[in-house]
Amino acid sequence: MSPALIALLPFIGALLPGLLIRSGRDVAAISCGTATFIALLGLCLHIPAIMAGEVITARFEWLPSLGMNANFRIDGLGLLFGILILGIGLLIITYARYYLSRNDPVGLFYTYLMLFQGAMIGIVLSDNILLLLVFWELTSLSSFLLIGYWRHLPEGRQGARIALTVTALGGLAMIAGMLILGNIAGSYDISDILQAREAIQASPLYVPALVLILLGAFTKSAQFPFHFWLPHAMAAPTPVSAYLHSATMVKAGLFLLARLWPVLSGTPEWFYLVATTGLLTMVSAAWIAIFRDDLKSLLAFSTVSHLGLITMLLGFGTQGAAVAAMFHIVNHATFKAALFMTAGIIDHEAGTRSISRLGGLRRLMPITFTIGTLAALSMAGVPPLNGFLTKEMMLQETTEAVWFGNGTVLYVFGTLGALFSVCYSLRFVTQVFLGPERDDYPAHPHDPGFGLLVGPALLVVLVVLIGMFPNTSAAWLVAASSSAVTGVAQDPHFALWHGVNLALKLSLTAILGGLLLLALNPGMLAMRDAVWRPDGKRAFDAITRGATGVARGFTERFTNGSMSRALGALSMTIVATGLWAFSTGRYQGASRPMLEVGVVPLTGWILLMVATACMVAFHRLRILALVLVSIIGLIVSGTFIYLSAPDLALTQISVEVVTVVLLLLALNFLPKYTILDSADRKRGLDAFVATVTGLGFGALSYCIMRSDFAFPPISGYMLENSYKLGGGSNVVNVILVDFRGYDTFGEITVLGIAALTIFALTETLLAGASGRRLRNWVHDSLRAGDRHPMLLVVVTRLILPISLVVGLFIFLRGHNSPGGGFVAGLVVSIALVSQYMASGFSWAQERQSINYHAFIGAGVIAAGITGIGAWFAGLPFLTSTYGYVKLPGIEEFELASAMGFDLGVFLCVVGAVMLGLNSLTRIARQTGATVNLEPMDVDPSKEAEHR
Amino acid sequence: MIWEIIISVLLVTGGFFGLVGSYGLVKLPDPMTRLHAPTKAATLGVGATLTASLIWFPTQGGQSTWHELLILLFLFMTAPITGAFIAKAHLHLGWDADELPRPEPDLHWATFAGPENESVLDRKTPDE
Amino acid sequence: MIGYALYFAFACFGLALLFCLFRVVFAPGLADRVLALDTMTINMIALLTLFGIDRGTTIYFEASLLFAMVGFISTVAFAKFVLRGDIIE
Amino acid sequence: MNHLLIAPVVLPAVIGPLIIMWMRNDLLLQRVFSIVGTALLAVVGIYLNWIAASGEVFVYRLGNWAAPFGIVLVLDRLAAMMVLLTAVLALAVQLYAVGSGWDRKGWHFHALWQFQLMGICGAFLTGDAFNLFVFFEVLLIASYGLMIHGGGEMRLRAGVQYIAYNLAGSTLFLAGLGVLYSVTGTLNMADMAMRVAQMPAEDTALLRAGAVLTMLVFAIKAALVPLHFWLPSTYANAPGPVAALFAIMTKVGVYAIIRFYTLIFPQDAVTETLLGDLLLPAALLTLALGQVGILGTRHLGRLASYAAIGSIGTLVIAVAQYTPQATSAAIYYLIHSTLATGALFLVVDLIGARRGDLWLRLDRVMPGNGMIAALYFITAIALVGMPPFSGFVGKLLVLQATADVSWSVTIWSVILITSLIAIYGLSRAGSLVFWKCYEVEGPDRPEAPKDPAAPSGPIPPRLEPDEQIQDLGDAPANWLALTATGLLLAGIVAMTVLAGPAVRMAEATAQQLHDPAVYIGSVLQGQEGTK
Amino acid sequence: MMRRLFPHPWLSVVLVLTWMLLVNRWAVGSLLFALIIGIVVPLMTAPYWPNATGYSRPGRIPAYLAIVIWDIVKANFSVARIVLFTPRSALRPAWITVPLELRRPEAITALAGTITLTPGTVSCDLSEDAHALLVHCLHAPDPDAVLDEIKTRYEARLKEIFE
Amino acid sequence: MEFLLSSAIGVLTAAGVYLVLRLRTFAVVLGTTMLSYAINVFLFSTGRLVVDAPPVLRYGAETYTDPLPQALVLTAIVISFGMTAVVVLMALGAFLEGGDDRVDMPRADRLPDHRAGDDGA
Ligand code: NA
Ligand code: NA
């Protein structure tokens, strides 16, 4: 079976329980078990080939340019881990079927479990380190889900987050490490990397890569000081603990060390980092395990300790140590999984995992007792069980290794670790099973059914078998895997008895010392409790709480909703970067002569300066500010006229009046005065920012006006061809409707959308809380009488048709003289608005059967159709044509098709302005203004008629 | 030449009255009197200027325009309205109904009339 | 001669604008300010006309027309705001 | 000339007004029309990608004017891709809007939606600097309308800030364009590129200033630190589907940065490394601020907003490198982060509709907790760049592209460390929202009824306008909303599985961008038959 | 027919004139177009002109206009004198109530306009029932004389024209 | 003249910036209006200044001012008008809904009103 398929099968298995989510535990377990079994079978079919030294590969291109490909390989190492993962997985699936309650979402559990299994298999079968990374992180994610599976348990959630965070930390470091490694090796394929030992170890980036990768491996394998996540992961259901946190996931780190052993090991950096970490972990975790009250917690720390042991062995970098490491992986998996399942059974049956509440279960649960004891003894390293074999090998290796010139420190500590291990293993046996039977178990303990027992029983059988007959039962697997690790064919021989050597003495010391320690345990417990000790979880909590606090403070500080700060930052950024960019370039200096200043421009300048200054000074008096805005607008328009831009002046002045009307309409409901609520200091700072920005902009514009174009501007062409090709002599208008008609198309759309937005917003406001508030509105000022003054009505009535004529005129001549659709639209709008102001909204509205929505739509469409029309001539959008239309005897017009476009502009402007004002007026009417049926409040002539 | 003189006179007149109108705005003592200056002086100021232009273009500028007439018409049409409105605004803001002569003993001027012409405090607010 | 008259008129209306500005800034009430704004518009129209004569072009007349129209509307709008709060009712 | 080049602009520009004119009061018709329009846009997008894949740069000369004088639309690989991405995102999100009932919480949702698409597509396709401004404005004003859709105090307040900030941005844009025009005398981007390349060395100050001002505008749109202030409140307060659509809006800014940086201000022009020197620190800060914000906020909507900011940081780090490899990484990451951010906003909206608000605090178990949790989980994984989704691929690409640059240690550190912060923040939020609720209610509590009758919460009650919108009388189509969210996630999965082809496409695009001669040549040469 | 075509013939005249002034070209073509405008625009705006407008004696309009223009010129000089030379203390502003005989809004508006444009007076407000006009005088030592002049010089003439 | 205009641009900009930095919406709207005046004049000035040479083709006229910036400014004016209209109405809406016209987002936008169960997820 292809390695890829083997890796894929668990994922397929993961889908099944998801799909069959309602069909219960059996279906889920069977489907997952089947997938696992097929995968295991597929893997085992490769055993002969692998034993023969072959490496089975499957390669799929995924992301070749990055070097990330779906390449898989099975060699001895992969085989060892694959069998562990799938084999124990099969047992766990069975076990979980009976362990989980009917009320648990079992489908979900199996999905997560299979996801995890797939990820693990992926790790061990990857032949590409980037692919390996993918699976690596997937194990973190799926373990997060599994630990947090019982979502109502706070420990589960916290444990899940701690595990995720710590392993993700390592994972991220590993991403960097792997990328560096791949860059050095020139490939991300493991096959290639394994060939690049010299290049890698010679690279200056070797140490960073090593440290980063080790960070990944150590976090995953819960090595000191990252070990603290593992006990908290014990909040997971026991099958998860047994599977992830003893047999497989935590070994992923070891796998990685083994996988990269040929290229990374053998250097002092490797030795001191890996072996020391391993040693420290082994001893410290074992020490902690002695005192744990929670069975699973005890087992968890023992796991950490054993992982440390294996890490240390790999760190030694010798072939013998590597063989021992591989063998211990096998042994540890068997006895530790069995122990976890035993703990789960006890928890399940006795209702507690607390050692202090247990004891005397020997008679109540004889089978469980047997299984648990055998496994625990193996863990303690008692012959003839398999744990003994590797403990001896470990001690042997420590006696041979030298640590900073010291030949004893390693084996002293190694023995100490073994001693602790004996202590906690026996504690497990004595304090759970032995002793007097109690009468206060939370439940009625008895041996469980076959389903829960089969897994641990099988494992314990292995424990014994491997212990007794290591060379026939396990040597082949250790040989295959250690050959793969070391790159040299290994043919190890294991024996229970090596004669009386140092290792044996140390082993004996450990066992005896362990017994002694167990006897002293209660006293030591009290002593230990009295002394302060570092608590990983508390540190983690402190760090994350601190980080969260800092993040909150930081976030609150940098995005605190202050507009002023945001805009101030923007201004200063603009000025600073602009100034920097300008000053690092070269400016030629003023080359254009200045224009003379006459009396009128000077007056205008004074007016503008004073008006602007007043505007700032008096801006809190809002109506005065509006008057000043009008004045500034007037002067700006005058400036445009003076500087040869009549079109601009027309537009500016007419836009401005509409704006003022709009602002007045809004101001009716807003406070009339701005409250002074910024402190003097802030105002000073703002003034500084404003001044600097103003200076910057003024200077920039001065530089521009005094310098020449570096290249002839494209507008020269426009001046030349505006009449010839565009058919209009007002070049600005031809640019607007022809050269750059597309801009104008966008522009009128903007206007239309603005009106639609205003309309939509108004409707929403009126329907909501604002509507209610408006209905109870109290005007904040005394109101005069005379809503629709007669004089105004009469005059605007006359102005309306005249304005329409003026609008038409401005529209028609726009192509050749200042004017055009936009200004015309505004003129007409202003005339209509004057009707509204004079005769009241309802009366005037009644007289226009115009839907402004339709106006806007029609405007955009008209402009669009004029543009699309060109398609039918095979020309691009907005291509215009023109001609002079001479209706006999009537005014001669130049009719450019662009005029259709201008008509669209006109319609859109009228529609948008009127719809916007309408909406604002609707808000006003909500306050309960009465509706007038007559255009003026009093009409003396009508009154006369009545008489 | 004669046109030149007429134009010049008109320009000077226009300028003079324009200035006087705005000067009055500054100089006259209270808002109601200030209202007089611009509404009239400026009309003649701008009127004379426009007339000068009206004459200048056909006689000196070589083209005929009539727009000035239109502008003038517009200004004269609107000036009274703006005047009245500013006056009304001023009455509303600064005068009490009793300080003015009444149109008839039981009637108000429009600015002071109307059912809505109540103090904010008097207004009934049903929901609050 | 026309030239001098023109400059005289320019100066007059320029000065007039400054007077108006004075009244906008220093005024006891809003009505005065609106009045001053209105007068400014009228003075601007005059200036535009003068500019047209000075440059011999009629191209700026529409602007004058529009200034007149706009001045009227904004004055009325301001006044109506003062009177009623709501300018369209 | 291929008229379909302009279809992405004209199509929504016609559908929008038609909706206003004839379907104002018929929501059903609006929905059908609008969705069909967006689907058509997607089809056009596919076609445009297909023709652009040849490597040819297509030019559409509006008004038949010759190139630097009239406005041109330019279709290259990048533009085509952006149009398609927009259409795909819009289609999915629009389905969500219909499914969740958001589109009837106020007026003109669909018309504004179409105009929004018009603006975005217009910005992607234009080859004219000022026209880019115009279409920025189109997309902005439509976004204002959409952003405040449904009303409510916070939304309006945020809207005011959003507009005010963008008004400042638009002003700045005009200033930048003014400076560029005042030096180069042109607005056509290809022409400008040519002129900038020929700029005399003794006259560069103004041009440099112009370049920086223009870039700042794009940085505002992209929400780069320190110009990011507008984003969190805006996105967090916008209606869910609108915020999801806005995922593409920040990318418009990034697109413009890429376009101007590669075309007009490359590093061998007078602007030298000016832009890269500014972009990189800004991008790093942006990434840090965004990821820290994920942890620092107490509101799911803001969390999604910060995630959006963070993804922009990563993206711009790549853009700032100015190498084809980095640019291709940026392009891949851009697609990924658009889909992922969009999906996250939809998921957040799903939560909001069920929980009532989006504060990160203990609440009851929401209906459909499991399904939404799954969607959240996948989206979060994709966003933080954990395997197996496209975020991981994208992150690897970015890391790889920055491996050999002078700032690489800083860049890698920032990317990796902030990833950890984001992972912690997202897992914290997720476990609080989806798991902790069970603590209160106990594990055995039966799940709440599947389909909530009416999602309440941040959505205001239905309004009754003057003209009655046709009442469809249906409950929100929950399945449609979930499916739409799933569609975006499917996109993420596709980006992962098809990472090879996707990256190849991104590489081809980057190659094209880093060889602007073709672009310039296509625009300025061979203009037979034009005026 | 004519009534339907020209609902407000005087308005049509004004519009034709406006157009001709705008286009600045006294050609036949322009006039025809102006006529079209003169027909179409009043029809369009007819709803805003609910009551018929007409003049009983339009022939007297020019004379009236002449008087007004003359008065405006006069007014300006007198106002200028007051502005420039009359000391504040000597200023005698006054309010006058002008009871109106005119009833048509157009006529009242014309009167108010005239008053504002001519010597030292500004029409400020109408009474509630629009039967009186409030006029402010800049400098009126003798208010009754002013009232008398308004009534005879302007209102009487307007009454002839309009009613 | 160039100096007058650029100083005017500077002053308008400064005024606009100062006003947009205020804390109430109306002031901000006024500020954006000022900024748009400033930018319109600025953009216009990039065509350089010419007196009395409007870009309307006439017989015999030789010099014209640059029409392109004018067209751009026209577009900009219209757009900023639309934007102003929307922001004004939105400010009004925010005032009506929220009861005050502050520009800054209130705390309630970022922080929940009570902290029940907020920590220790
Ligand atoms: Na025009
Ligand atoms: Na008078």
Among candidates A864, A852, A871, A938, which has minimal Cα distance to A903? Answer: A864
Smallest CA–CA distance from C27 into chain A, residue: A624
Query: pLDDT-based confidence at A22, cuts 50/70/90?
Result: low
The pLDDT, as a whole number, for residue A692 is 97
Q: Is residue F109 domain-resident? A: no
Arithmetic mean of pLDDT over chain A:
88
- Chain A neighbors of F28, CB-CB under 8 A: 563
The pLDDT, as a whole number, for residue A889 is 57
Query: pLDDT-based confidence at E52, cuts 50/70/90?
Result: low
Arithmetic mean of pLDDT over chain E:
87
- Asked if A touches D (at least 3 Cβ pairs < 8 angstroms), the answer reads yes
pLDDT tens digit sequence for D448-493: 433 333 333 333 333 333 333 333 444 567 889 999 999 999 999 9
Query: pLDDT-based confidence at A631, cuts 50/70/90?
Result: very high
Q: Chain D within 8 Å of F100 (Cβ-Cβ)?
A: no
Residues 28-57, chain F, touching C (beta carbon < 8 A): 52, 54, 56
The pLDDT, as a whole number, for residue A440 is 83
The pLDDT, as a whole number, for residue E3 is 67
Query: pLDDT-based confidence at A21, cuts 50/70/90?
Result: low
**Tokens representing residue E109 in the block:** 């508006």
Mean pLDDT over F4-9 rounds to 96
Interface test with A, best of D69, D114, D191 (most A CBs within 10 A): D69
Q: Which ipTM was obtained for this model?
A: 0.93
Smallest CA–CA distance from E34 into chain A, residue: A891
Whole-number Å distance between alpha carbons of D376 and D389: 13
The pLDDT, as a whole number, for residue A920 is 87
The pLDDT, as a whole number, for residue D68 is 92
- Please tell me which of the candidates C6, C56, C83 has its beta carbon nearest to residue B92: C83
To the nearest whole Å, the CA of F60 is away from the closest chain D CA by: 25
Q: Is residue F115 domain-resident? A: no
Q: Are A40 and A143 in contact (CB under 8 A)?
A: no
- Chain F neighbors of A647, CB-CB under 8 A: 70, 74
Q: Chain B within 8 Å of E112 (Cβ-Cβ)?
A: yes
The pLDDT, as a whole number, for residue A306 is 92
The pLDDT, as a whole number, for residue D447 is 42
Q: Is residue F74 domain-resident? A: yes
Q: Is residue F7 domain-resident? A: yes
Among candidates F56, D464, B12, which has minimal Cα distance to A723? Answer: F56
For chain F, the first-to-last Cα distance in angstroms comes to 66
Residues 67-126, chain B, touching C (beta carbon < 8 A): 67-68, 70-71, 74-75, 78, 81-82, 85-90, 92-94, 111
pLDDT tens digit sequence for D138-155: 999 999 999 999 888 999
Whole-number Å distance between alpha carbons of A47 and A54: 10
The number of beta carbons lying within 10 Å of the beta carbon of residue D199 is 20
Cα E120 to averaged position of ligand 2 atoms, centre (Å): 5
Beta bridge partners of D495: none
- Domain chopping of chain B, boundaries: 2-93
Whole-number Å distance between alpha carbons of D387 and B53: 80
Whole-number Å distance between alpha carbons of A620 and F6: 27
The pLDDT, as a whole number, for residue F120 is 46
Q: Is residue F117 domain-resident? A: no
Helices D153-184 and D230-237 pack at an angle, to 10 degrees, of 130
- The H or E element containing residue A57 is strand A56-63
The pLDDT, as a whole number, for residue A406 is 83
In sequence order, the 6+-apart residues with CB closer than 8 A to the CB of E40 are none
- Asked if B touches C (at least 3 Cβ pairs < 8 angstroms), the answer reads yes
Q: Is A444 left (phi over 0), alpha (psi -120 to 50) or beta?
A: beta
CB contact under 8 A, F109 and D360: no
The pLDDT, as a whole number, for residue A683 is 93
Arithmetic mean of pLDDT over chain F:
89
The pLDDT, as a whole number, for residue A776 is 83
Report the neighbours of A using a cutoff of 3 or more CB pairs below 8 angstroms: B, C, D, E, F
Whole-number Å distance between alpha carbons of A352 and A355: 8
Task: Give the rounded distance of the alpha carbon of A359 from its chain centre.
Answer: 49
Query: pLDDT-based confidence at C7, cuts 50/70/90?
Result: very high
Q: F97 lies in which domain range?
A: 2-104
Mean pLDDT over A231-255 rounds to 85
The pLDDT, as a whole number, for residue B127 is 36
Q: Are B65 and B57 in contact (CB under 8 A)?
A: yes
The pLDDT, as a whole number, for residue D451 is 39
pLDDT tens digit sequence for D169-208: 999 999 999 999 999 999 999 999 999 999 988 889 999 9
- Domain chopping of chain D, boundaries: 3-439+475-524
Mean pLDDT over A8-30 rounds to 81
Cα A546 to averaged position of ligand 2 atoms, centre (Å): 80
The pLDDT, as a whole number, for residue A753 is 93
pLDDT tens digit sequence for D60-85: 999 889 989 999 999 999 999 999 99
pLDDT tens digit sequence for A97-110: 888 887 778 888 88
Arithmetic mean of pLDDT over chain B:
83
Based on the structure, what is the number of domains in chain F? Answer: 1
Query: pLDDT-based confidence at D437, cuts 50/70/90?
Result: confident
Question: Is it the case that residue F85 has pLDDT exceeding 70?
Answer: yes
Question: Is it the case that residue F21 has pLDDT exceeding 60?
Answer: yes
The pLDDT, as a whole number, for residue D472 is 41
In sequence order, the 6+-apart residues with CB closer than 8 A to the CB of F80 are D167, D170, F32, F36, F40
What percentage of chain A has pLDDT greater than the value 90?
45
The pLDDT, as a whole number, for residue D123 is 97
In sequence order, the 6+-apart residues with CB closer than 8 A to the CB of F119 are none
pLDDT tens digit sequence for A416-435: 999 999 999 998 898 888 88
Nearest bound ligand to CA F55? Answer: 1
Whole-number Å distance between alpha carbons of A277 and A311: 8
Whole-number Å distance between alpha carbons of F109 and F91: 17
Task: Give me the phi and psi of E97, to 5 degrees please.
Answer: -100, 120
To the nearest whole Å, the CA of B6 is away from the closest chain C CA by: 9
Question: Is it the case that residue D283 has pLDDT exceeding 50?
Answer: yes
The full length of chain C comes to 89
Cα B27 to averaged position of ligand 2 atoms, centre (Å): 19
Domains of chain E from N-terminus onward: 2-48 (no CATH), 75-162 (3.30.70)
Q: Are D362 and D437 in contact (CB under 8 A)?
A: yes
Higher pLDDT, residue C49 or E3: C49
The pLDDT, as a whole number, for residue A895 is 67
The pLDDT, as a whole number, for residue A943 is 65
The pLDDT, as a whole number, for residue A890 is 61
CB contact under 8 A, B117 and A785: yes
Mean pLDDT over A56-78 rounds to 91
Q: Are D321 and D402 in contact (CB under 8 A)?
A: yes
Smallest CA–CA distance from F55 into chain C, residue: C59
The pLDDT, as a whole number, for residue A865 is 84
The pLDDT, as a whole number, for residue D270 is 84
Interface test with A, best of B49, B117, B121 (most A CBs within 10 A): B117
Among candidates A506, A305, A505, A291, which has minimal Cα distance to A410? Answer: A506
Q: Provide the number of CB pairs (under 8 Å) joining chain B to chain C.
A: 185
What percentage of chain E has pLDDT greater than the value 90?
29
Q: Provide the number of CB pairs (under 8 Å) joining chain B to chain E.
A: 138
Arithmetic mean of pLDDT over chain D:
89
CATH code that applies to domain C2-84: 1.10.287
The pLDDT, as a whole number, for residue A891 is 63
CB contact under 8 A, C55 and F54: no
Query: pLDDT-based confidence at F121, cuts 50/70/90?
Result: very low
Q: Chain E within 8 Å of B23 (Cβ-Cβ)?
A: yes
Query: pLDDT-based confidence at E60, cuts 50/70/90?
Result: confident
Whole-number Å distance between alpha carbons of A322 and A320: 5
Q: Provide the number of CB pairs (under 8 Å) joining chain A to chain B.
A: 57
The pLDDT, as a whole number, for residue D475 is 57
Provide the 8-state DSSP code for D183: H
The number of beta carbons lying within 10 Å of the beta carbon of residue A442 is 11
Q: Are A156 and A35 in contact (CB under 8 A)?
A: no
The pLDDT, as a whole number, for residue A103 is 78
Higher pLDDT, residue A501 or D391: D391
Mean pLDDT over A916-943 rounds to 79
Enter the pTM of the model: 0.93
Beta bridge partners of A56: A74
The pLDDT, as a whole number, for residue E103 is 87
Cα C11 to averaged position of ligand 2 atoms, centre (Å): 27
Report the neighbours of E using a cutoff of 3 or more CB pairs below 8 angstroms: A, B
To the nearest whole Å, the CA of D88 is away from the closest chain A CA by: 23
Beta bridge partners of D253: none
Beta bridge partners of A60: A70
- Please tell me which of the candidates F11, F28, F104 has its beta carbon nearest to residue A694: F11
